A and B are shown apart, each in its own frame.
Chain A
C-alpha cells in the first residue's frame, strides 16, 4: 500500500497510475488519448498534473503513484498547459460542430467548452483531407483526427487485427491502412471497434449520418441477434427507428468488443421486405371466406386479418390431428426466438396437440 495526497486529500492505494488512483477516488482529470479499455499511451498531454518535487508537469495516465507523493490536478499552471494543448489541437481541427455527427458526444468539444477555448492563437498550415466514404459502414474524416491513436490501439489490443497504424511523419502523420488504401483492401474486418473509441468525429458510422445526435436518441441495452456469443450493445432509437448500435463496455460477455454483424447488421429491421400483415394462400382464403380477398405483393397469397389467419392455423393443425393423430403434426421452434417463445411453442405442441414432434435448427 502506498499513501499519497491528491489535491490535499489523503489516499491509501495498492498502486496504479495517478489517473487510475484519482478516478477511483472521484477526482476527475481530463484525458483524450486515454480509454479505459486500452492500455495507457501518454500521447495527448491533457492529463498533465503537478507532482511535488518534479521539475515538469507529468502525464497522470502513465505516471505511477509512489509513497508520500503529493499531486495537484487543477492549478493555474496546469490549466494554462492544458489550454495550450487544446489551442494547438484547435489550430488544425475543423470548427463545424453544427453539422458534426459527434457534437454532444465529442470529448474534444467538451474540453474546449470546459477550458473556454473558442479560438486558437496559432496560425499555420491545416490538413485538408476529404472525408473518406469509400468503404461500407465506416466514415473516416481525417481532418478531425487528433492522432490520439485510440483507434490504432483498439484495432491492435482488442481485436488483434492491426489494419491501421500511423503512416508518414511530422505534419503528414496520419492514421491509415498500409499505403493508405481503402479499408476493404486491408485486413480490416469492419468490426467498427475504431469508431467505438474515437473521441472526436474522425471515425463515425456512415449509415447513422444525420440520424440523431446522442441526446436525441433513446438507448436500449439488449443482446445481439446473430451468433451464440451473446454480446450486449446499446440500440440507439429515434422516432421509432433504430439508427445506431454502440458498445457496452460493462458487458461481462464482450466488454465492448463487437463484430461487423453486431455493430452494423441492424438495417434488416427496417427493410421494406419485412412482413407487415398476415398472408394466406389465395385458394385457402377463397375456400374459407368465399371471397377473393386483398391481393398481396407475394404471388399466390392474399392479405389476411389476424383473426382469420390465426383461425386458419389452428384449424389446419387441428384437422391434421383429427385425421391422422397428434403425431401427424410437427412444430419447428426457433433458435432466433426468445426462451419464452420456445417454451410456449413446445408447450403448444406437447399440451395442445399432444405430440413431441418439436425441434429447431440446433443441428443445422
Chain B
C-alpha cells in the first residue's frame, strides 16, 4: 500500500477493484464499511456482486480480464470532461500527452463493448472518483492475476496520478497483499530477480554490496519464478527443489502439470507444519514450526514490520524453520560459522544491514511497536505514506497500456468463463483452516457459483453436482445458483483439495510480473447428478 490502513478513515471515496475486501481482508473491509457509513463514496468494480457492492453508489460488473479497458475508459472520461488535477499532473508527473493519446480510443462506448459495463455507468464512476479528493484505490488479485496484470496495475496508477491521489493522506494506490508475510518475503529477496530490498541481481553495484556482506559471489543470472520452475522441472532442467511452507500442488495453476513436474525431480525436500499434498511427493519432509512457536517478524500490507512472538513450543521434534534452514545451509557451506545465528533478532540485524528500507529496523525497536518501511535509520519513525512531495523516480510517469484479451477466451466448446477467488471462512489450500472444526462447520465444501440463467440452460438446480472441464482438467463440484455472479461467468475458490479448481486454470503468465492468469479460464459445465 502506498498509504496506511489508518488512512482509510480519511478517504472521501474508495474505488475498489478486483478485491472482495470483506472476505479476503475482513478487518480492512470493516474499515471501508465504517468510512462509507460515515459518508465516504464507494465505487466497486467486480464481476461478482460482492458484499461491498451492496453499499456502493456504482457497481461496475466488468467481464473478467477486461480491467485495462475499464480503467482506461475512466481515464478517458476524466480527461475528456476536464476533471483531472491539473496542478498535480503539471508539477508531479510526466507523459500526460502520451496517456491522453493512449486512452483516447477508450471512450465509454468502446469500453462498454469490451467490458460489458454500460457506458453511462463508466461515466458515473469516473465522475464520482474524480469528484472526491482524496480518494483511495484498493485492489487485489482480481487485478494482478491476469496475463496482462502488470499493465492493469499501471492503469490504476495512471488513474490515481491523474486525480492527484498519490502522496496524500486518505488517497493512494493500495494493493491488499494476500498472505500474512507476502510483503516481507518480497522485501527479503525471496524473488528470482532481486536481492533483499528489491536490489536487482543484474545490477553489479547491488551484487557487490551483498557479496561483500556475505563474503561470497552471487550469480548475475535472474532465476526462475514459481511457474517457470515447474516448467523447468517438467522439461528435466531442474533437478532438485527445497520447498518451505508452500503447497504448490493445490495453489499453482494447471495442477496436473505441477504434479508431473514435481515427480520428475531427482530430489524434493518439503518443510511444513502438515503433511500436505506436496509433501506426499517429497523425498524428505521436515517438520517446521507454526507462527505461535517461534520468534521473528512479519511485514503487513501497509509495509509495517511487526514482531511475531513465541508463545508455545513446536510439537514433538518439530523445530523453528530458521533453525532448520540454517542447519541445511551449514552443511552446504564452506564457512559453517556463518550460519550459527543465536536468534531471529541477529538474522534481522544482518538482513537490515543490506536492505536499505529496513536499515533502521531491529527487534529491540519493534518491541515498542511496529515500524513501516522505508525506515532508513535507527532514529527514523518509519513512513506512513509513500510518494509525498516526490516519487522515488522523481516525476510520476504515466504509462498507458492497451487492453489485451485474456490468454483463453470462451468459445463454442468451452463457453463459460471461470474466475477464481477466496472465501471468508477458509484460507489458501486449507491446510490450516480445514483443521479448525468451527470453520468447517461454517463452510464445509466449495460450491461453484453460477448465474440462474446459465444454470437453467444447463438444467442445474441448487446443490446439483456438476462436472466442470477445461482444456487442462476436470473437477466435480456442487453448484450454487446465485445472481451474485453475472451470466456467462462461474466462480470457484481453491480452498478445498477435493474440488481443486487449479486443475482447470491457465498457466499463462504476465510477461513482466510472471503472475498466472487465475482469473480467466474457459470451461464447460455439465450436470452430473442431483
Contact = CB atoms under 8 A, between A and B. Distances in A.
Given A320-B267, A344-B326, A361-B246, A352 B333 contact: yes
B388 interface: no
Contacts of B33: 159-160
Interface stretch (B24-32, B408-416, B469-477, B485-493): B24-32
B223 A264 contact: no
Contacts of A363: 144-145, 225-227, 513-516
B285 A279 contact: yes
B286 A309 contact: yes
Interface in B307-366: 307-313, 315-319, 321-322, 324-329, 331-333, 341, 344, 347-348, 350-351
B185 A330 contact: no
Given A273-B274, A274-B318, A319-B240, A310 B513 contact: no
Interface stretch (B10-18, B75-83, B163-171, B287-295): B287-295
A269 B432 CA distance: 8
Contacts of A346: 188-190, 195-196
B226 A332 contact: yes
Nearest to A136: B438
B438 A264 contact: yes
A5 interface: no
A276 interface: yes
B325 A338 contact: no
B351 A227 contact: no
A254 interface: yes
B300 A334 contact: no
A222 interface: yes
A179 interface: no
A356 interface: yes
A360 interface: yes
A276 B182 contact: no
B401 interface: no
Contact of B178 (A227, A271, A320): A227
B324 to A, nearest CB: 7
A223 B306 CA distance: 7
Given A275-B287, A278-B285, A362-B186, A343 B347 contact: yes
Interface string A258-295: 11111011111111011111111100100000000000
Given A229-B27, A310-B328, A356-B193, A362 B180 contact: no
Contacts of B180: 223-228, 230, 335-336
B179 A338 contact: no
B486 to A, nearest CB: 23
Contact of B287 (A278, A337, A353): A278
A312 interface: yes
B307 A222 contact: yes
A337 B225 contact: no
B148 interface: no
Contacts of B290: 225, 268-269
A357 B347 contact: no
Interface stretch (B105-113, B275-283, B453-461): B275-283
Contact of B267 (A224, A232, A241, A317): A317
Interface string B435-468: 1111101100000000000000000000000000
A327 B284 contact: no
Nearest to A221: B309
A349 B329 CA distance: 9
B433 A230 contact: no
Contact of A276 (B187, B318, B332, B344): B318
Interface residues of A, number: 115
Given A326-B219, A341-B296, A360 B242 contact: no
B62 interface: no
Contacts of A327: 219, 221, 223, 237
B402 interface: no
Contact of A228 (B182, B190, B273, B311): B182
Interface in A228-269: 228-232, 235, 237, 240-242, 252-254, 257-262, 264-269
A231 to B, nearest CB: 6
A241 B311 CA distance: 8
Contacts, number: 470
B394 interface: no
Nearest to A307: B327
B317 A313 contact: no
Contacts of B351: 339-340, 343
B286 A313 contact: yes
Given A273-B275, A328-B240, A345-B190, A358 B223 contact: yes
A267 B436 contact: yes
Most buried by B among A274, A281, A314, A362: A362
A354 interface: yes
A232 B305 CA distance: 12
A132 interface: no
A318 interface: yes
A316 B325 contact: no
Nearest to A331: B242
Contacts of A88: none
A270 B178 CA distance: 24
A189 B26 contact: yes
B40 interface: no
B192 interface: yes
A260 B284 contact: no
Interface in B200-231: 201, 214, 216, 218-219, 221-227, 229
A342 B229 contact: no
A207 B439 CA distance: 12
Contacts of A329: 238-242
Interface in B361-399: 369-370
B273 to A, nearest CB: 6
Nearest to A356: B223
A347 interface: yes
A114 interface: no
B6 interface: yes
Nearest to A220: B311
A185 to B, nearest CB: 12
A98 interface: no
Nearest to B514: A363
B478 interface: no
A359 interface: yes
B519 to A, nearest CB: 12
B482 interface: no
A72 B518 CA distance: 65
A306 interface: yes
Interface string A188-225: 01110000000000000011000000000010111111
A301 B312 CA distance: 28
B442 A222 contact: no
A278 to B, nearest CB: 5
29 contacts: A136-B442, A206-B438, A207-B438, A223-B306, A227-B178, A228-B177, A235-B292, A252-B369, A257-B27, A261-B439, A266-B292, A278-B287, A312-B283, A314-B332, A326-B219, A328-B240, A330-B240, A331-B243, A331-B244, A337-B244, A337-B296, A339-B351, A343-B196, A345-B190, A348-B329, A350-B214, A359-B225, A362-B186, A362-B191
Given A230-B298, A336-B291, A346-B190, 5 more contacts: A160-B37, A265-B436, A275-B316, A336-B181, A348-B332
Interface of B: 5-6, 22, 24-28, 30-31, 33-34, 37, 144-145, 176-193, 195-196, 201, 214, 216, 218-219, 221-227, 229, 232-233, 237-246, 248, 251-252, 266-267, 269, 272-275, 279-280, 282-288, 290-294, 296-302, 304-313, 315-319, 321-322, 324-329, 331-333, 341, 344, 347-348, 350-351, 369-370, 424-425, 427, 431-433, 435-439, 441-442, 513-516, 518
Interface of A: 136-137, 157-160, 184, 189-191, 206-207, 218, 220-232, 235, 237, 240-242, 252-254, 257-262, 264-271, 273-281, 284, 298, 301, 304, 306, 309-314, 316-321, 323-324, 326-364
**3 pairs of A and B residues whose beta carbons are closest in the complex:** A276-B316, A230-B300, A338-B296
